[in-house]
Chain A
Amino acid sequence: MNAVKIYYTMLHLECACMWRKQLQCLQGLMFFCLSVVFLPFAVGSDLNILQAVGPGYMWIMAIFASLLTADSIFSIDNQSGFLEKTVSAPDCLTAYYFAKLTAYFIFSSVPVILLTPVLSLLYQLSIFTIIILSITLTLGTFILNLFTLLGSILTLPVNQRNNLVQLLILPMITPVLIIGTMASYFTEPNQLTFSYIYLLLAIFLVAMFLLPIASIYLLRCGNT
């Protein structure tokens, strides 16, 4: 079998597994919804404040929602021995990694991204802000998922369940957060907005190049 075929098989498998664990996938989504709804209770229902804080707050909560289920990505495969088999099988590992990445993106981030425009209406954000927010969140959560997978591989040998992934990942993704939120603070089309999106795209390309290499390297020879 060639690599692409293995990738599709693996992706099918991962999606089936994720579909079985619906509640776990919904966990992040519910967290995101609730935290967005709860912000006005804390800072008051003044629309000026909500519009000023809203995009950045939604970014942070999307990041937390995506990190919520991070430490279970590889641990089940590790316990069942599936990961070990994949590592020892010839040229399976890369396909496995990318299948995991895609499945995790589809099931943990895509629902959040799809719900963002709806929830933005609660803060009465402008149409342009909503569009930009959706675009930057799509790119941003994908970069975040690359980091999350790395973090979950790094913490595989850790015995007890803990929240180490958040500590490892959050400082690393500061640039993504900064650039992503800067882009989404404009209320109307602006030259600067697009330059921020291009910057985010640049970070995406660099991360897409480096992080899979590091993650696959660690899976192959470090941890299991």
Chain B
Amino acid sequence: MFILKSYLSLAKCYDIAHRISSIISPAIIPCFTLGLVWSLFIAPTDFQQGQAYRIIYLHVPSAILSLNLYFIMGILALGYLIWRIKIFSLLIQCLAKVGIVFSGLALVTGSIWGKPMWGTWWIWDARLTSTLILFFLYLGILALNRSITQSRAKDSACAVLTLIGTVNIPIIHYSVVWWNTLHQGATITQFWAPKIDHAMLKPLIYMLLCYIMYVIVVVSNLLIKAIAERESHTQWLKKRLLEDVF
């Protein structure tokens, strides 16, 4: 625990985020290009949905991540409320920014996919609706984060809101499922007998990994900015910035 603690200081995290960002950033574009070529050209055509199904390679990873990032945020919020570790609350606000983008992307690509498949842009179906509510939950966290200026009050308010949201998400999801269901059932999560063919599944998992890589890079860049804003009055940051310049 003691060793771990030294890694959780803002100065240390600033360095780690810098290193992660500088290592992974150059790999992002080649990896995404490979993934897009694989998923858009090499992967086999679906016999029912034709070429249009290929949007799942953008839609499914963003939908998976938009939900899972919220749970990660919930765990971080719990950690912040118990141990008062500042970096956790900064991570929450950075993850929320990425999460809202992914839930928005999942909604947009979903409706683009829905137009040729179901014939409409929007259906009041369980998954769509719960993603929309998730989008508003993210929006709430970001709005609260933006409108409070005092940093300590901001951190605890956002952490409590995130935690309550995390407890609430399963309840929201099941109530919405009960309310209405039309969406096709889960295909990947049925781990032992996936309904999707392996030739289609492999690029999907590859794209998911690309997305995770993207999240790591973007979050570490946002974290650098957030730490710099929070610690703008401190000596170590001035020293670090001078080192970067010279």
Measuring CB to CB, which residues of chain A are less than 8 angstroms from any residue of chain B? 150, 154-160, 162, 164, 167-168, 170-172, 174-175, 178-179, 182, 203, 210-211, 214, 217-218, 221-223
Contact = CB atoms under 8 A, between A and B. Distances in A.
Interface residues of B, number: 30
A139 to B, nearest CB: 15
A174 B149 CA distance: 29
Given A211-B164, A214-B164, A174 B153 contact: no
A167 B139 contact: yes
A174 B157 contact: no
B147 interface: yes
A157 B136 contact: no
B140 A159 contact: no
A223 B156 contact: yes
Contact of A164 (B144, B152, B164): B144
A203 B153 contact: no
A178 B175 contact: yes
Nearest to B135: A171
Nearest to A215: B160
A223 B147 CA distance: 13
B149 A159 contact: yes
A223 B176 contact: no
A214 B160 CA distance: 7
A157 B175 contact: no
Contact of A175 (B81, B149, B172): B172
A210 B167 contact: yes
B177 to A, nearest CB: 10
B154 interface: yes
B165 interface: yes
Interface of B: 81, 133, 136-137, 139-140, 143-144, 147-150, 152-154, 156-157, 160-161, 163-165, 167-168, 171-172, 175-176, 178-179
Nearest to A158: B147
A168 B148 contact: no
A222 B155 CA distance: 8
25 contacts: A150-B164, A154-B160, A155-B144, A156-B153, A157-B148, A157-B157, A158-B147, A158-B148, A159-B147, A159-B149, A160-B147, A164-B144, A168-B140, A168-B144, A172-B168, A178-B176, A178-B178, A179-B175, A182-B179, A214-B164, A217-B160, A218-B156, A218-B160, A222-B157, A223-B157
Contacts of B165: 172
Contacts of A156: 153
Given A162-B147, A172-B168, A175-B172, A154 B161 contact: yes
Nearest to A160: B147
B164 A218 contact: no
- What 4 A-B pairs come out closest when comparing CB atoms? A222-B156, A175-B175, A157-B153, A171-B136
- Output the residue of A174, A217, A222 with the most chain B CB within 10 A: A174
Contacts of B161: 154, 168
Contact of B153 (A164, A179, A217, A223): A223
Contacts of B154: 157
